[in-house]
Amino acid sequence: MPKTDIYFDHVSSTPVHPDLITMFSQYTSLHYANSDALHDLGTRIDAMQNKSRESLAQLLGVLSEELYFTSGATESNNTLIKGIAFAYQHKSKHIITSKVEHSSVSASFLWLEQFCGFEVSWLEVDQDGRVTLEEVSKVLRPDTSLVSIMYVNNEVGTIMPIDAIADYIHQNSRALFHVDLVQAVAKVPFSLAKIDAASLSAHKIHGFKGSGLIYKRKNIVCESLIHGGQQEHGLRGGTQNAVTNILWAKTLRLALEEYQAHHLDVKNMNDYLRQELSKMDSIIINSPTKDVSAYILNFSCLSISSEVLLNFFNQEHIYVSAQSTCSSKTKTYSKTLSAMGVSQERLNGSIRIGLSSMNTLEECVQFISTLQEGLKKYGNPR
C-alpha cells in the first residue's frame, strides 16, 4: 500500500485553498479582458480589482491607494528597496538591513552596494537569530535613508521586535522602515501602523503563486523599476494578472480566519515536535523558545547530514527542507544559522519543518517515528 504524503514544507509554499481554485476556474473563463481596456469588459475587471484592493486595505488597516499588486514578494522587495533607495539617494546613500534576510532582500542591498554606490550596514543577530535594538542603535545615523528588517525569519521562525525597532528608527533618523511580512501574515499577530512599506505573498497563505502585494505609505516616493505602462499608478508597468489580483482579498480573509480557528492546533503540533526532538541525543533545536512563529521549526541532526536526511524523508514521502528554498540549490549553508554562530556540525545537519493547519498531530507522530528510523539506519554515534 503506497504511503500517504506528509507535507512539512509550508514555509516554501502552501496548497491553494479549494475555494480559491473554484473561483479561479470560474473567473479565468469569464474575466479574460485586459483590465486597462476602455470597453465594458475591461472596466468591469478593473472595478473588481479595485474592490479587492479596498477589501485588502480594510483587512490590513491601511488606505486602498497604499496597496499595489505585484507578481510576488520577491518583486515587492526589489521594488520597494531599490525604488525607495533611488528616490531618496539625494539625501543619503546609507541604508541598513540584517544578515538574516530573505535572498530577495539581501541581494537587492548587495546590488545597491556593489553597483550603485550605496553604503550598506549589515546588522548582526543574537544567538536566536534576532535583530536587537542595541544592534540597530550602533549603525543607525540621522541621515540613514532606508532600513529593511523581516518580521519573521523564514528559516528558524524568530519574530523580530518590529514595533520597538520602528519607534527607535523614527525617533532617531529620517529613515524609512521596510518590512518583509511574508512569514508573518496570518501566522503571527502583526500591524502596519509603524511600518512605512511592506511586502506580502499569496502563495505562502494558500493563495496563488505569482501573486504579491506592496504596502507603501502614500506620502513615500518610490521609483518605478518596471516601465512601459500606467498600471498600479505607474509603479509597475505591464498587463495585470487580474484574476489573482481579484482573489487576493479572499486569500487574505480566508488565511486570517484559518489563523483564528487553528493557530492553537499548529502550536500544539510544534510543541509536540519540540518535546520529542529534545529527547533525542543527536538532535539540537535551532528555533528559539520565545517570540517565535509556531509555523516554523528548525533543528539540526549531529549524526546525519541534511542531504542524507532530506533524501531519506523524501523516500518516506515526508517533505521538508534544509534552508530557505530560494537558496536551496546553491550548495551553501543556512545564512541565518551561520549568523547565529552555530557550529559547523549543526550547519551540516539542519532541517526546517514548515507547519500549517492542514497538518495533523498524527503526521507529527509519523515524522518522529520516521526520524528515529533514519537515525538508527544512517546515524553515527556521537
DSSP assignment of 7-72, as one string?
E-BTTT--PPPHHHHHHHHHHHHH--S-TT-SSHHHHHHHHHHHHHHHHHHHHHTS-GGGEEEES-
Per-residue pLDDT of 73-111, as tens digits, reads: 999 999 999 999 999 999 999 999 999 999 999 999 999
Instruction: State yes or no: pLDDT of 323 exceeds 70.
Output: no
List domains and CATH numbers for the chain.
6-15+256-378 (3.90.1150.10), 18-254 (3.40.640.10)
- Grid cell digits, residue 201: 505573498
Task: Mean pLDDT check: name the lowest of 231-240, 282-291, 367-376.
Answer: 231-240
Rounded average pLDDT over 328-342 = 82
Query: Sign of torsion, CA 24 353 99 60?
Result: positive
pLDDT above 90: percentage of residues in the chain: 89
Report the chain's mean pLDDT, rounded to a whole number: 95
Q: Quick one: cell of 346?
A: 549543526
Q: Is 248 helix (H, G, I), strand (E, B) or coil?
A: helix
Q: What is the mean pLDDT of residues 143-167?
A: 98
- Tell me the pLDDT band of 230, cut-offs 50, 70 and 90: confident
79 with 235: CB under 8 angstroms?
yes
Which tens digit of pLDDT belongs to each residue from 199-208?
A: 999 999 999 9
Please tell me the predicted confidence (pLDDT) of residue 37.
82
pLDDT of residue 119 exceeding 60: yes
d(C-alpha 349, C-alpha 341), whole Å: 15
Residues 6 or more apart from 45 whose CB is under 8 A from it? 31, 33, 34, 35, 242, 246
Quote the CA–CA distance of 33 and 46 in Å, as a whole number: 10
Neighbours of 107 (CB within 10 A): 16
> Pick from 364, 330, 97, 66: which is nearest to 198 by CA?
66
Rounded Cα distance between 344 and 366, Å, is 29
Residue 381 — pLDDT band, cuts 50, 70, 90?
A: very low
Q: Active-site residue 326, yes or no?
A: yes
Rg (CA), the chain: 21
Q: What is the pLDDT of residue 382?
A: 42
Give the confidence band of 332 by pLDDT, cuts at 50, 70, 90.
confident
Instruction: Using alpha carbons, select from 302, 305, 287 the residue that is nearest to residue 354.
Output: 287
Please state the rounded mean pLDDT for residues 66-78: 98
For the chain, the 3-state helix, strand and coil shares in percent, each to the nearest 5, are 45, 15, 40
Q: Cell digits for 350?
A: 539542519
Cα→Cα distances 112→81, 96, 106, 155, 374, Å: 9, 11, 10, 24, 44
Residue from 253, 262, 327, 285 nearest 105 by CA: 327
C-alpha cell at 88: 531618496
Q: How far apart are CA 350 and CA 358, in angstroms?
A: 24
pLDDT at residue 168, rounded to an integer: 98
pLDDT attached to residue 220: 97
Catalytic residue, chosen from 116, 301, 326, 364, is: 326
Q: What is the pLDDT of residue 2?
A: 62
Residue 203 CB partners (closer than 8 Å, separation 6+): 13, 14, 16, 72, 209, 210, 211
What is the Cα–Cα distance from 102 to 179, expressed in whole angstroms? 11
CB atoms within 10 A of CB 54: 15
The alpha carbon of residue 368 and the mean position of all alpha carbons in its chain are separated, in whole angstroms, by 26
What does the alpha-carbon distance between residue 378 and residue 60 come to, in Å, rounded to a whole number? Answer: 48
